[in-house]
Structure 1
Amino acid sequence: MSVAVEHIATDQPPDAAKARDLDYGWHSDNQVQLLENGEAYFPKVFEALREARREILLETFILFEDKVGHELQHILIDAAQRGVKVVVSLDGFGCGELSPSFLGELADAGVTVQMFDPASKTLGVRTNWFRRLHRKIVVVDAAVAFIGGINFSADHLGDFGPEAKQDYAVQVTGPAVADLHHFALAQSGRQARARRGWRRRQQPPCAGSTEGEGLVRLIYRDNVRHRDDIEEAYIHALGQAQKRVVIANAYFFPGYRLLREIRNAARRGVQVQLIMQGQPDVLLAKLAARMLYDYLLKDGVVIHEYCQRPLHGKVALVDDDWSTVGSSNLDPLSLALNLEANVLIRDRAFNQQLYERLEILARDHCQTMPENRKPRLWLWRLTVGFLVFHVMRHFPAMTGWLPAHKPRLKPFEGQANDH
């Protein structure tokens, strides 16, 4: 069996890193559709994949061999067999349990499967914890794109049970898809092809003053020159907020600068709501977020904990037209370690739709932290949080010393190199 599976290391060589230092601007006249949970997301993505005629680019952090994963596998195999170019990029940690037979069936059909930073277990434990490919992007025929926080796994569907995740993604059509397509090509190691036919468009004014509808901009975080782009986008939008801010984020433990902007927005009269995990899939995430509650509550930030099922969303809105949806949490892993991607959206109708969905979540399925909660050692908690976050921020440089993170691109061990 000739399995076309590649291993992609966590960082690229200096020349490749420079080539991938990509900046993307605002594009107008896009259509953006909010997709809530797997019930909305999977049918839209699978329909687009079935209709693909030329190319499918797919990146995901998690792909499981469950009913969702098997349906995706069958669709991709069918696409490859009818001549569609299919490139699938998987994270070595999140997809580390995929069986050789599952990957082999994809490869034998002509699908190019790439594994980002794979590592075998040491004493039964996986060692590739850091610098994960955490993005979730699908681009079909350079005409339609999907981006958000939803993985290809059945735990994003309500019938999974109490542990089913609450999450969000968007479908994008219009001029911004060209940037998503270019980015996905470049990150899959196909930079030369990606550069042909792609031109950077003139940017409208910055996010704080852009007017119009259907404006979309791709932003991303890497470990080279775009380490802070997503964090800076949040900070800029919060600094411009005048009316309302709603942030729904699964893993909330941001650095001090972002915390300060959230607090300052509330101090100047902006209605600031945070929706956090009340029923987390990782208990440490809830404990970390609660370290920050006293600091935020005392300045008027309203904090909700979503208790119906695990919250996995990574979305936010500011005032009446700014929104963001993507893969990035507001914690050290996403803001200082992982490879992430979000879209910024300037569109009043989309902003209102997202606001209404989050309001229902907060009103009907959350418990609200009391405003008169007595502060308990909040200064000590903030200091500890500050130190932990900024130690983690410098952790990528330290992990880069490890042999497992030497930049290299090599064929899957024991498999063919012809692809």
Structure 2
Amino acid sequence: MNVAVEHIATDQPPDDAKARDLDYGWQSGNRIELLENGEAYFPKVFEAMRVAQREILLETFILFEDKVGFELKAILIDAAQRGVKVVASLDGFGCGELSTAFLRELAEAGVVVQMFDPASKTLGIRTNWFRRLHRKIVVVDASVAFIGGINFSADHLGDFGPEAKQDYAVQIVGPAVADLHHFALAQSGRQVRTRRGWRRREQRPTPWATSDENGLVRLIYRDNVQHRDDIEEAYIHALSKARTRAVIANAYFFPGYRLLREIRNAARRGVHVQLIMQGQPDVLLAKLAARMLYDYLLKDGVVIHEYCQRPLHGKVALIDDDWSTVGSSNLDPLSLALNLEANVLIRDRAFNQQLYESLEALARDHCQTMPAKRKPRLWLWRLTVGFLVFHVMRHFPALTGWLPAHKPRLKPIESPAHDV
């Protein structure tokens, strides 16, 4: 039995760039709900899929064959069998261990499975490490959308144990769903038709909305063509306007100098700036790299917390009392310079307060706070390691540019036993 899997072999938008390189502005009148961890996220997403009538569009970096993955598979198969158009776009690295049998069941039911840049193992090692499809987006019937940092895997549930991830996503209902729907269709290679509420903008609107209206949402994303810096620029712009508070919770924190400078400058002018980092990292290098920046930030009044209960996987931030962002993008070279990412910017006071209370409780109850004046310890070793880590991380995107890049294309593949 052949398994039909479409391979997206690209680190850029597909060939029809005019139809797919879109820029989205602020949409008002949305209802936004914060979903913390898999306990809140999976029931909402699965229920929306179960009642889908026309279409399910899904993008995810990771899908595992565990209790979450099997439940998702059953829901997608049921939807496809009752006539719902189902398109699942999966990353070839993050979903690289999915079995042929798992994919076959989806394909036989009519689910369109797309694999972004798959690669066979070399000497038992996967080589497609960089330029990943890192987005996590679900759009159902063009009426409800979900976006954030949560993958479809059981390690986002508390009962997974000490390695369960702390993470966030949002559910959106309202006009902004049309933009997310349009974007998901375009990026998946599906035919995009112009409809009311879908608007292409030749000029990029400011990342900062001027209206006092709540429920404002704007989709932003990064690719490797015309939107390389959109997410980083949104952070920089928001921090430059911060007046009272700024809270950033990010799993992998090693941003460029411009963003670091805005964080430091905000603290210097009296903004209460808090960073929530990994204290129990799933990647040790991430913690080491972030700590290289602590002294630079602490001396100007930035408060740094390390979350120590379990691995932090969140990618969220808030500024003052009404600006927030939730999405897939970390603040490190992979997300800011290589991966395909998507966030939403939100101007809504109630949502901002809800996110603030959640992060404040996290910092208060489950974090250790770094002392403002740390005692020098093994300073020569720290200086040497810090120098090496800093320059490797800063030049990492340029170094990966030496690796072969793929020609943008959508290539249907049929293989009786494709190893993904």
TM-score, with structure 1 as normaliser: 0.93
**1:301 is matched with which residue?**
302
Tell me, in whole angstroms, the C-alpha distance in 1 between the residues paired with 2:414 and 2:145.
Answer: 32
1:200 aligns with 2:199: yes
TM-superposed CA distance for 1:380, in Å, is 7.9
CA 265–144 in structure 1, closer or farther in 2 if over 3 Å, else same: same
TM-superposed CA distance for 1:173, in Å, is 0.4
Higher mean C-alpha deviation, range 405-414 or range 97-106: 405-414
Tell me, in whole angstroms, the C-alpha distance in 2 between the residues paired with 1:282 and 1:413.
Answer: 35
The answer as to whether partners of 2:13 and 2:223 remain within 8 angstroms in 1 is no
Tell me, in whole angstroms, the C-alpha distance in 2 between the residues paired with 1:249 and 1:92.
Answer: 24
1:388 aligned partner, one-letter code: V
The answer as to whether partners of 1:148 and 1:325 remain within 8 angstroms in 2 is yes
1:310 aligned partner, one-letter code: P
Tell me, in whole angstroms, the C-alpha distance in 2 between the residues paired with 1:250 and 1:387.
Answer: 20
CA 132–179 in structure 1, closer or farther in 2 if over 3 Å, else same: same
Tell me, in whole angstroms, the C-alpha distance in 2 between the residues paired with 1:395 and 1:18.
Answer: 29
1:219 aligns with 2:223: no
TM-superposed CA distance for 1:410, in Å, is 2.0
TM-superposed CA distance for 1:406, in Å, is 3.4
1:289 aligned partner, one-letter code: A
Other structure's SS at 1:220 match: strand
Q: How does 1:87-166 map to 2 (within 5 A)?
A: 87-166=87-166
CA 206–112 in structure 1, closer or farther in 2 if over 3 Å, else same: closer
**1:328 is matched with which residue?**
329
The answer as to whether partners of 2:157 and 2:164 remain within 8 angstroms in 1 is yes
**1:232 is matched with which residue?**
233
Other structure's SS at 2:57 match: strand
Q: How does 1:219-368 map to 2 (within 5 A)?
A: 219-368=220-369
Other structure's SS at 2:16 match: helix
CA 53–407 in structure 1, closer or farther in 2 if over 3 Å, else same: same
The answer as to whether partners of 1:337 and 1:395 remain within 8 angstroms in 2 is no
Other structure's SS at 1:260 match: helix
The answer as to whether partners of 2:207 and 2:234 remain within 8 angstroms in 1 is no
Tell me, in whole angstroms, the C-alpha distance in 1 between the residues paired with 2:157 and 2:14.
Answer: 41
TM-superposed CA distance for 1:391, in Å, is 1.8
**1:19 is matched with which residue?**
19
Tell me, in whole angstroms, the C-alpha distance in 2 between the residues paired with 1:380 and 1:262.
Answer: 25
Tell me, in whole angstroms, the C-alpha distance in 2 between the residues paired with 1:194 and 1:135.
Answer: 23
TM-superposed CA distance for 1:269, in Å, is 0.4
Tell me, in whole angstroms, the C-alpha distance in 1 between the residues paired with 2:152 and 2:15.
Answer: 33
Tell me, in whole angstroms, the C-alpha distance in 2 between the residues paired with 1:22 and 1:225.
Answer: 9
The answer as to whether partners of 2:13 and 2:187 remain within 8 angstroms in 1 is no
The number of equivalent residue pairs is 412
1:408 aligns with 2:409: yes
**1:391 is matched with which residue?**
395
TM-superposed CA distance for 1:374, in Å, is 4.0
The answer as to whether partners of 2:253 and 2:332 remain within 8 angstroms in 1 is yes
The answer as to whether partners of 2:2 and 2:414 remain within 8 angstroms in 1 is no
Tell me, in whole angstroms, the C-alpha distance in 2 between the residues paired with 1:126 and 1:2.
Answer: 24
Tell me, in whole angstroms, the C-alpha distance in 1 between the residues paired with 2:193 and 2:346.
Answer: 24
Other structure's SS at 2:3 match: coil
1:51 aligns with 2:51: yes
Higher mean C-alpha deviation, range 379-388 or range 318-327: 379-388
TM-superposed CA distance for 1:412, in Å, is 2.6
**2:184 is matched with which residue?**
184
1:168 aligns with 2:168: yes
The answer as to whether partners of 2:289 and 2:390 remain within 8 angstroms in 1 is no
Tell me, in whole angstroms, the C-alpha distance in 2 between the residues paired with 1:311 and 1:57.
Answer: 27
Q: How does 1:58-73 map to 2 (within 5 A)?
A: 58-73=58-73
The answer as to whether partners of 1:4 and 1:111 remain within 8 angstroms in 2 is no
Tell me, in whole angstroms, the C-alpha distance in 2 between the residues paired with 1:116 and 1:91.
Answer: 5
Tell me, in whole angstroms, the C-alpha distance in 2 between the residues paired with 1:140 and 1:13.
Answer: 22
The answer as to whether partners of 1:165 and 1:309 remain within 8 angstroms in 2 is yes
TM-superposed CA distance for 1:322, in Å, is 0.2
CA 163–352 in structure 1, closer or farther in 2 if over 3 Å, else same: same
Tell me, in whole angstroms, the C-alpha distance in 1 between the residues paired with 2:19 and 2:205.
Answer: 24
TM-superposed CA distance for 1:372, in Å, is 1.5
TM-superposed CA distance for 1:212, in Å, is 1.3
Deviations 1:312-362 (A, max 9, x none): 000000000000000000000000010000000000000000000000000
Tell me, in whole angstroms, the C-alpha distance in 2 between the residues paired with 1:306 and 1:411.
Answer: 43
Other structure's SS at 1:4 match: strand
Higher mean C-alpha deviation, range 384-393 or range 175-184: 384-393
Higher mean C-alpha deviation, range 376-385 or range 353-362: 376-385
2:147 aligned partner, one-letter code: I
TM-superposed CA distance for 1:150, in Å, is 0.2
TM-score, with structure 2 as normaliser: 0.93
The answer as to whether partners of 1:93 and 1:128 remain within 8 angstroms in 2 is yes
Q: Structure 2: any 5+ residue segments left out of the alignment? A: none
Tell me, in whole angstroms, the C-alpha distance in 2 between the residues paired with 1:342 and 1:189.
Answer: 20
TM-superposed CA distance for 1:18, in Å, is 4.1
Q: How does 1:69-88 map to 2 (within 5 A)?
A: 69-88=69-88
Other structure's SS at 2:246 match: strand
CA 316–215 in structure 1, closer or farther in 2 if over 3 Å, else same: same
Tell me, in whole angstroms, the C-alpha distance in 2 between the residues paired with 1:91 and 1:185.
Answer: 16
CA 253–194 in structure 1, closer or farther in 2 if over 3 Å, else same: farther
Higher mean C-alpha deviation, range 298-307 or range 380-389: 380-389
TM-superposed CA distance for 1:4, in Å, is 2.3
Q: Structure 1: any 5+ residue segments left out of the alignment? A: none
CA 381–239 in structure 1, closer or farther in 2 if over 3 Å, else same: farther
Tell me, in whole angstroms, the C-alpha distance in 1 between the residues paired with 2:102 and 2:296.
Answer: 48
